Structure 1
Amino acid sequence: MPAERARAQLSGLAAAGLDAPVFAAGAIEILRAALPFSAACLATTDPATELITSTVKWQLTDENDEEWAHQEYEVEQYNSIDVARRPGGVTTATQETGGDLASLRRFSEFFVPRYGFGDELRATSTVDGAVWGFVALFRDGPNAAFTPAELEFASSVSSLFGRGLRSGLVAGAVAGDGAADGPAVIVVDSAGEIVQAGIGAAARVEDLGGPPLGTGPLPFALVALVGAGRRYAAGRLGTLPRTRLRARSGQWVVAHASPLTSRDGHSTDVVLTIEEARPPEIVPLVVAAFGLTPREQEVVRLVLQGSDTAEIARTLHLSRYTVQDHLKSVFDKVGVRSRRELTARVFFDQYAPRLAAGSGVAPSGWFAPAV
Structure 2
Amino acid sequence: MLAGDRLCRDLREVLVPGAGVEETGAALSRVIAPVVAHDALRLMVMNPSLGVGASALGFWHGYGPDIGRELMRVGSRGAAFPQLARLARQTVPVVADRGLRTGWYDRLLARHGFGEELCLVLRDGRGVWGLLGLKRAVGGRPFGAADTHRITGVGPPLIAALRGYVTQGPVAPTGRRHELPPGMLVVSAEGEVAARTPQARTWQTVMAHQQAAPDWLIEYCFAALSFEAREHARNPRRRYPRVCTPMIGHGQWTAFEAQPLGDNGDIAITIQRATGTLLLPTFCDWHKITDRERQVITYLQDGSAPKQIARLLGLSLHTVNDHLGAVFRKTGTCGRDELMAAITA
Same fold (TM over 0.5): yes
Q: Does residue 1:332 correspond to 2:329, yes or no?
A: yes
Q: Deviations over 1:143-189 (max 9, x none)?
A: 5322233223333432433333345444334466344213x332334
Q: Does residue 1:153 correspond to 2:170, yes or no?
A: no
The 3-state SS of whatever aligns with 1:200 is: helix
The 3-state SS of whatever aligns with 1:142 is: coil
Q: Pick from 58, 64, 69 the counterpart of residue 67 of structure 2.
A: 64
Provide the TM-score with structure 2 as the length reference. Answer: 0.77
1:226 is aligned to 226
Q: Deviations over 1:196-218 (max 9, x none)?
A: 2234221122123279xxx9547
Task: Show the 5 A alignment for 1:58-207.
Answer: 58-72=61-75, 74-75=78-79, 78-88=82-92, 90-94=93-97, 97=99, 104-108=103-107, 110-114=108-112, 116-173=113-170, 174=173, 177-182=177-182, 184-207=183-206
Question: For this pair of structures, how many residues does the alignment match?
Answer: 329
**Pairwise CA distance, 1:8:** 2.0
Amino acid in structure 2 at the alignment position of 1:83: L
Q: 1:232 to 1:76 in 2, by over 3 A?
A: farther
The 3-state SS of whatever aligns with 2:208 is: coil
Q: 1:31 to 1:112 in 2, by over 3 A?
A: same
- The separation in 2 between residues aligned to 1:168 and 1:132, in whole angstroms, is 13
Q: 1:155 to 1:260 in 2, by over 3 A?
A: farther
C-alpha contact (below 8 Å) 1:45/1:53 kept by paired residues = yes
C-alpha contact (below 8 Å) 1:231/1:237 kept by paired residues = no
- The separation in 1 between residues aligned to 2:16 and 2:254, in whole angstroms, is 15
Q: 1:288 to 1:17 in 2, by over 3 A?
A: farther
Deviates more, 1:48-57 or 1:228-237: 228-237
1:357 is aligned to none
Task: Show the 5 A alignment for 1:232-251.
Answer: 238-246=238-246, 250-251=252-253
The 3-state SS of whatever aligns with 2:34 is: helix
- The separation in 2 between residues aligned to 1:158 and 1:203, in whole angstroms, is 35
Structure possessing the higher relative contact order (Cα contacts under 8 Å, 6 or more residues apart): 2
**Pairwise CA distance, 1:27:** 4.5
Q: Deviations over 1:245-272 (max 9, x none)?
A: 345773422331526534xxxx4x4433
**Pairwise CA distance, 1:92:** 1.7
Q: 1:294 to 1:186 in 2, by over 3 A?
A: closer
Q: 1:33 to 1:153 in 2, by over 3 A?
A: same
**Pairwise CA distance, 1:17:** 12
Q: 1:301 to 1:241 in 2, by over 3 A?
A: closer
C-alpha contact (below 8 Å) 2:258/2:267 kept by paired residues = no
C-alpha contact (below 8 Å) 1:247/1:253 kept by paired residues = no
Amino acid in structure 2 at the alignment position of 1:41: R
1:32 is aligned to 33
Q: Deviations over 1:298-336 (max 9, x none)?
A: 333343344444444444455554444433332221112
- The separation in 2 between residues aligned to 1:292 and 1:337, in whole angstroms, is 16
Amino acid in structure 1 at the alignment position of 2:51: T
- Structure possessing the higher radius of gyration over alpha carbons: 1
C-alpha contact (below 8 Å) 2:35/2:151 kept by paired residues = no
The 3-state SS of whatever aligns with 1:206 is: helix
Point out where structure 1 has 5 or more consecutive residues left out of the alignment.
352-371
C-alpha contact (below 8 Å) 1:54/1:221 kept by paired residues = no
1:41 is aligned to 42
CA-based RMSD: 3.8
The 3-state SS of whatever aligns with 1:254 is: strand
Q: Pick from 273, 282, 286 the counterpart of residue 283 of structure 2.
A: 286
**Pairwise CA distance, 1:81:** 2.7
C-alpha contact (below 8 Å) 1:19/1:171 kept by paired residues = no
Amino acid in structure 2 at the alignment position of 1:303: L
Amino acid in structure 2 at the alignment position of 1:105: W
**Pairwise CA distance, 1:139:** 1.2
- The separation in 1 between residues aligned to 2:11 and 2:324, in whole angstroms, is 23
The 3-state SS of whatever aligns with 1:245 is: strand
C-alpha contact (below 8 Å) 2:187/2:222 kept by paired residues = no
- The separation in 2 between residues aligned to 1:306 and 1:81, in whole angstroms, is 39
